[in-house]
Amino acid sequence: MTVTSIGMTSAIQGLQQALEAFRRPGVQLGNWRWGVRQRMGAVRDALVAETGQGGEGWLAAREVGLLRERNALLGRLSALGRQVLENQDVDEVRTELHRLLVDVSHHVQRLHDLAYDEVELELGGSE
């Protein structure tokens, strides 16, 4: 699987910044909600852009697991999208989005680990 690291990194950072904007004085709730929703779209786009490489053997199983994990993250992101716009408990929404960002970051790390293992397998790895 491949993911554009720069695109995902900037999407995660953008959403983190949007979540923290709520604490700044003068930021209206409606504007905050809309900004967060837009940044969530960037994270969704980065997740959707992941592509499988059709790995072999044990790498294929890990790749399938990562695809399932990605789909679960997309489902959570979709559910939270509605909550950002409708839920009156903004702190609860922010907490859930922070949890999601941690999980997305872990997912990206697992993607990088898989890519590393694919290269190691192609090169023969260390004995």
Q: Round to whole Å and give the CA distance between 49 and 43.
A: 10
Residue 52 pLDDT: 66
Provide the residue-wise pLDDT of the chain in tens; the chain has 127 residues.
555 567 899 999 999 999 998 877 877 999 999 999 999 999 999 999 987 666 666 678 888 899 999 999 999 999 999 999 999 999 999 999 999 999 999 999 998 888 887 776 666 655 5
Burial class for 78, CB neighbours closer than 10 Å (0-12, 13-18, 19+): exposed
Contact 12, 104 (CB under 8 A): yes
Describe the crossing of helices 58-86 and 29-48 by its angle, rounded to 10 degrees: 160
Range 26-31, long-range pairs (CB < 8 A, 24+ positions): 29/90
Give me the domains of the chain, ranges plus CATH numbers: 5-123 (1.20.120)
Residue 123 pLDDT: 64
Residue 61 pLDDT: 81
Q: What angle do CA 59, 63, 64 make, to 5 degrees?
A: 120
Residue 54 pLDDT: 61
Residue 57 pLDDT: 67
Residue 70 pLDDT: 96
